[in-house]
Amino acid sequence: MDIKKEVQKLLKVIGPGRMSNTAYDTAWIARLGEIDWSLSSRALNWLCENQLPDGSWGTKEPFYYHDRVISTLAAMIALTYRGRRAQDKTQIEKGLLALERITSGATQGLAAAPNGATVGFEMIAPTLVAEAERLGIIKQQGDRILGRLQKMRQLKMSKLAGLKINRHITPAFSAEMAGSDHLDLLETNNLQEKNGSVANSPAATAHFVNFVSKSDEKAMAYLRDVVQEDGGTPFAAPFDIFERAWVLWNLSLANLLDEKSNQLYRHHLDHLISQWDDQSGASYSETYTPKDGDDTSITYSVLSRYKFPVNIDTVLSYEEEEAFRCYPLESDSSVSVNIHVLDALKQAGVDKEHPSVQKVISYLKNNRINSSFWLDKWHTSPFYPTAHFVTSAYDFDTPLCSQAVDWILQSQKADGSWGFSNDQSTAEETAYCIQALKVWETNGGKIPKGRIEMAAAWLEENSSTPYPSLWIGKVLYCPEYVVKSAILSALELSRN
C-alpha cells in the first residue's frame, strides 16, 4: 500500500462526513409517503433489502440490544404504514419473531450492556413501543420489558413538563421521542438548524415534517440531500468538524501531514479554526448548535499542534467537580472525553502535576475494568479508549499506561489482530492498538519483538471496507473516513 497516496486521496474527500447508513433513520424516512413518495419508497426498498438473517434490523456485528430493539421497531412501523405486498407482511412477521427473541433476554441484556444505552434510548424506545401497540403490530406489553420502558417514558415526560426542547440543547437530537402525543415539549419555532434539519438528525427531522411542520421546505431539502442513492440514511449529517478533526488527529500521530500534502490539509485546518469558539470550543458540525467537550478537545489538539491560536482555557471550561463533561446535564461521564482532554492538556504543555491532569487520572483510575482497561459510552470496543489513553497520557502516568499496554498485548490474537465483540477481529481495533504500542515504544516503552510487525501485516491484508459499526449514537454507526485515517496512521507508524 502506498500510504502517502492513500492519505492524499483521503484529504481530498473528507469534509461533510461519510457515515454508514442506519435502519433506524432510514425507517423514519420511509414513513414520509404522503409528503415525498419517491424518497419514502427508496427508503422502504432499502429496509426490505437490509433485514438481517434473524429477522431483525440494525447492525449485524456487533450485536447490541439497544440498536436492534429500536431499529427493528422503527422498521416494522414503517413497513406497516407503507407496506402493501405479501413480502412486507412476511418481513414484519419475521421482525416480530426476532424482537421477541431479543427482548426475551432483554431484562438482563439491556441493563447489562457494558457500554450502556444508546443515545436517547429510554425515551425513543417507549415512543416506538406505544406506536407499535396502537398499530396492532405488538400486543400490549404490560409489565414485560418493553412495557416497563413505556412507564419510564411517562415518568420522564412528567419531569420534562415545562421544559421546551430547542436547538440549543442536546435533547433536540432525539426530538422524535416526543411522538405525536408530547409535541408540547418542542419549541417548534426554535428547533431547526440553519440547514433546515433538527439537530442534523434525519430521524428527528423526518419526525418534524411528519408531525410538527408538515412538508416544511427547508427540512425536506435537508432530507433529500442526506438520503443516499440506495435509499439508506446515516444517523447524523453533516458531521464536518468531527470528521476533519479526528482524521487530522489520526494522521498527525504518524506525521503524515507533511509539506507535500500541505495544500490538501491546510484548508481543513482553516475550516476547524473558522468554527472554533473561544468560549465553548467546537461542535461536531457547523450546523449543530451545542458544543461538546470531545470535539473541543480533539479540535484543540489538532489546531494547537499546527500552531493555531487556541486557548486551553476553552477546554478547561468543560471541567466539573470530578471529571470533564461532554455535554451539559449528561447523566454519566465519558471515559474517552476525559482521555482526549488529557491529549489537549499535553499539547498545551501542561505539567502532569496540574490539578486538572490529576483529576482526570484519578477519574480514570476509578473507572477501569478489572484494573486493566476502559469501556466508553461512545464506542463499543475497549480498545478505543484504552489505546487512546496510551497515546494521550504516556507523559502523565507511566505506570497506568504500562498496565494498559500490558492488557493490549495480552489481548492480541495469534494472527496479530485485535477484536472485542464475539472475538471477531477488526481493522479499526487493530489500528488503535498499533497506534498505542508504537507511540509507547517511540517514547521509551518496551514492546516484545515482532508484535507490532505481525499486527501490521494482518492489518494491511484486512484494511478494506466495509468496516463494522462500532461507534455508539442513537444506534451503532461507522464514520468510515475516520476509521480509514486510523488504519493509515497505524500502518505508517509500524514502518518507522
- Radius of gyration from C-alpha coordinates of the chain: 22
Instruction: Please give the tally of structural domains in the chain.
Output: 2
- Is residue 231 domain-resident? no
Q: What sign does the dihedral 4-13-340-431 (CA atoms) show?
A: negative
Give phi and psi for 476, each to the nearest 5: -80, 145
Q: Which of 226, 253, 288 is the last residue of a domain?
A: 226
What pLDDT score was predicted for residue 422? Answer: 75
**Mean predicted confidence (pLDDT) in 14-19:** 93
Give the CATH number for residue 339.
Answer: 1.50.10.20
pLDDT tens per residue, range 84-106: 777 888 999 999 999 888 877 65
pLDDT at 144: 56
**380 inside domain:** yes
Among 191, 226, 261, give the residue marking a domain's end.
226
**Structural domain contains residue 152:** yes
Same domain, 161 and 251: no
Axis-axis angle for helices 293-305, 240-253 (nearest 10): 50
Residues 415 and 277 in one domain: yes
- For residues 179 and 153, the answer to whether their CB atoms sit within 8 Å is no
Q: Which of 197, 226, 255 marks a domain boundary?
A: 226
Q: What pLDDT was estimated at residue 408? A: 98
User: pLDDT by residue (tens digit) across 334-379?
Assistant: 999 999 999 999 999 999 999 999 999 999 999 999 989 999 999 9
Contact (Cβ atoms closer than 8 angstroms) between residue 6 and residue 489? no
Confidence of residue 442 (pLDDT cuts 50, 70, 90): very high
Alpha-carbon span 130 to 13, nearest angstrom: 42
By the 8 A CB rule, do 77 and 128 touch?
yes
Would you state the pLDDT for residue 181?
84
- pLDDT at position 158 is 64
Q: Is the pLDDT of residue 450 over 60?
A: yes
What pTM did the predictor assign? 0.94
Residue 421: CA atoms inside 13 Å, Cβ hemisphere, count?
22
Q: Are residues 63 and 207 in the same domain?
A: yes
Please state which of the ranges 148-152, 184-188, 189-193, 328-332 shows the lowest mean pLDDT: 148-152
Instruction: Clarify whether residues 155 and 245 are in a common domain.
Output: no
- Whether 6 is covered by a domain: the verdict is no
Within this chain, do residues 278 and 138 fall inside the same structural domain, yes or no?
no
204 CB contacts (<8 Å, ≥6 apart)? Answer: 172, 173, 174, 175, 176, 197, 198
Q: Are residues 359 and 391 in the same domain?
A: yes
pLDDT at position 194 over 80: yes
pLDDT tens, residue by residue, 147-184: 666 666 666 666 566 678 999 999 899 999 999 988 98
Residue 13 lies in a domain: no
Q: Is there a single domain that holds both residue 434 and residue 343?
A: yes
What is the predicted pLDDT for the residue at 492? 97
pLDDT, tens digit, for every residue of 275-308? 999 999 999 999 999 999 999 999 999 999 999 9
Mean pLDDT of 181-194: 93
Q: Is the pLDDT of residue 107 over 80?
A: no
Buried b (16+ CB within 10 A) or exposed e, 30-64: bbbbebbeebbebbbebbbebbbebbbbbbeebbb
**pLDDT for residue 495:** 94
Q: Is residue 61 part of a domain?
A: yes
Q: Quick one: 57 and 107 in the same domain?
A: yes
Query: Contact at 8 Å (CB) between 436 and 391?
Result: yes
Spatial CB neighbours of 260, under 8 Å, sequence gap ≥ 6: 4, 8
Q: What is the mean pLDDT of residues 194-215?
A: 96
For 394, the domain range is: 240-494
Claim to verify: residue 131 and residue 98 sit in the same structural domain: yes
Alpha-carbon span 242 to 288, nearest angstrom:
11
Q: Name the average pLDDT for the chain.
A: 92
| Cβ pair 63, 70 in contact under 8 A | no
Residue 192 has pLDDT above 70, yes or no: yes
Q: How far, rounded to the nearest angstrom, does the alpha carbon of residue 386 sit from its chain's CA centroid? A: 17
* Res 260 pLDDT > 80: no
Residue whose cell numbers read 412501523: 77
Whole-number Å distance between alpha carbons of 359 and 84: 58
pLDDT greater than 70 at residue 411: yes
- Do 274 and 186 belong together in one domain? no
User: Which range, of 163-172, 382-391, 399-408, 446-455, averages the lowest pLDDT?
Assistant: 163-172
Residues 288 and 212 in one domain: no
Q: Are residues 136 and 60 in the same domain?
A: yes
Side chain identity, residue 35: I
Per residue, what are the HEC states of 362-427?
HHHHHCCECCCECCECCECCCHHHHHHHHHHHCCCCHHHHHHHHHHHHHHCCCCCCCCCHHHCCCH
Average pLDDT over residues 465-490: 97
User: Domain for residue 1, yes or no?
Assistant: no
Whether 366 maps to a domain, the answer reads: yes
The pLDDT value given to residue 111: 58
What is the domain-level CATH number for residue 148? 1.50.10.160
Q: In this predicted model, what pLDDT tens digit does every residue of 34-85 receive, in sequence order?
A: 999 999 999 999 999 999 999 999 999 898 989 999 999 999 999 999 877 7
